Amino acid sequence: MFRDDLLKGKKILITGGGTGLGKAMGRRYLELGAELVIFGRREEVLAETAREHSAETGGTVSYHRCDIRDPQAVDDMMEAIWAEGPLDILVNNAAGNFLAKAEELSPNAINAVLGIVLQGSAYCTLAAGKRWIAAGREGNVLSIVTTYAWTGSAYVLPSAMAKAGVLAMTQSLAVEWGPKGIRLNAIAPGPFPTEGAWSRLVPNKDLAEEFETRPPLGRPGRHDELAQLAVFLVADECGYINGECVTIDGGDWLKGAGQFSFLHRMSDADWDKMRPKRK
Ligand code: HXC
Ligand code: NAP
């Protein structure tokens, strides 16, 4: 289904599309014929990504400096986008995160992450949704969450709270807006090295190595793998998938959850030695 014109005629907005996974998804969308709009707070980063994308794909890319924590700014930017033609697909990808012990978080620290991930995703989704509904148009929202949206995670409390909320938004609106022709899905990535995430979450080399090799597949994800899934879920060919969250983590979270997963440390000799005892 990944033919060159799969997304021709589709206008796609990716929040946080100037860096990391947002940039990788944007590039793939352009390769498959989409028109791309990216949001972020740093204009020079957006401009450079837009330049790179156009040079590499020949596609149409525009960008808007927009802090998605500001609902008025989000609405103004959506208005500016719609003035040049309606959007077809929104990708809620922008995020903020850092490692911290929960008891040391200030109110501002909590608000900084919830504001970007939870409120920001809601503002963008509602700003697009109300325009789709008013015009009687079909719409499509893909949100990038994490596997700890349902497991929770120590040391990233505001992010875990916010991602759980974005998943709940996806499931809630999939039902409420399904009858209006708007579908919403999510992707839960495992470890995908990016400058933004690695500098904040695994800044030391040993931690990074453990994080990257822990998945049962023994490696981190590749950006192109995530980008293909992001294409698959927004394509019209997948029009019956609604309210779903697809995990792409090499089996990482299941390994963390399985009670006996820790036995991967045992060698074959250890297993043989234990044979008489485990009958
Ligand atoms: C405790 C911290 C902190 C830390 C910041 N704060 N870092 N508190 N531990 N490590 C506190 C600050 O002291 C301040 O509180 C408050 O948070 C806001 O900080 P600012 O720097 O003023 O905020 P701002 O400039 O708005 O930046 C937001 C940010 C920043 C979230 C703090 O990191 C950011 O811009 N991030 C965007 C990109 C990003 O995070 N990418 C990674 C996504 S990765 P006080 O009280 O002092 O004012 C991801 C992966 C998930 O989500 C899963 C991985 C597998
Ligand atoms: P990243 O490069 O840091 O991406 C975050 C993007 O969000 C940046 O482009 C940033 O741009 C933008 N952003 C942050 N605050 C914003 C705001 N207030 N308004 C507008 N844009 C804002 O990190 P990444 O690793 O690619 O993460 C992308 C997504 O994948 C996130 O949702 C993250 O939670 C998710 N994810 C990543 C991993 C991983 O292993 N990398 C794993 C699970 C989930 P500006 O700073 O210029 O605004």
CA of 258 to the centre of ligand 1 (A): 31
pLDDT in tens, 248-269: 999 999 999 999 999 999 999 9
Task: Locate the ligand 1 atom nearest the alpha carbon of residue 99 and give its number.
Answer: 10
Q: Residue of the nearest CA to atom 25 in ligand 1?
A: 112
pLDDT surpassing 80 at residue 279? no
Task: Locate the ligand 2 atom nearest the alpha carbon of residue 69 and give its number.
Answer: 18
Question: What average pLDDT does the chain have?
Answer: 97
For ligand 1, say whether the CB of 108 is within 6 Å of any of its atoms.
yes
For the segment 85-102, the average pLDDT, to the nearest whole number, is 98
For ligand 1, say whether the CB of 100 is within 6 Å of any of its atoms.
yes
Task: For strands 89-92 and 61-65, give the pairing.
Answer: unpaired
Pocket around ligand 2: residues whose beta carbon is below 6 Å from it?
15-16, 18-22, 39-42, 45, 66-69, 93-96, 116, 120, 144, 146, 189, 191-192, 194, 196-197
Which 8-state DSSP code applies to residue 84?
Answer: T
Q: Which residues of 216-228 are buried (b: 16+ CB within 10 A; e: fewer)?
A: eeeebbebeebbb
> Quick one: which of 86, 83, 80, 91 has its CA closest to 28?
91
For ligand 1, say whether the CB of 208 is within 6 Å of any of its atoms.
no
Rounded to whole angstroms, the Cα distance separating 70 from 267 reads: 54
Residue 211 gets the label, from left (phi > 0), alpha (psi -120 to 50) or beta, of: alpha
pLDDT of residue 159: 98
pLDDT in tens, 47-89: 999 999 999 999 999 999 999 999 999 999 999 999 999 999 9
Q: Residue of the nearest CA to atom 10 in ligand 2?
A: 16
pLDDT of residue 1: 86
- Segments in 115-155 forming alpha helices (H): 120-135, 148-151
For ligand 1, say whether the CB of 185 is within 6 Å of any of its atoms.
no
Residues 66, 123 contacting (CB under 8 angstroms): no
Residues 185, 188, 192, 195, CA torsion sign: positive
pLDDT of residue 94: 98
Nearby residues of 193 by Cβ (< 8 Å), 6 or more positions away: 208, 212, 220
Give Cα separations from 32 to 177, 222, 248 (angstroms): 27, 19, 21
This prediction's pTM: 0.98
What is the set of active-site residues? Answer: 148
For ligand 1, say whether the CB of 180 is within 6 Å of any of its atoms.
no
Task: Locate the ligand 2 atom nearest the alpha carbon of residue 145 and give its number.
Answer: 44
Ligand nearest to the CA of 40: 2
To which CATH superfamily is domain 11-278 assigned? NAD(P)-binding Rossmann-like Domain (3.40.50.720)
Which one-letter amino acid corresponds to residue 272? D
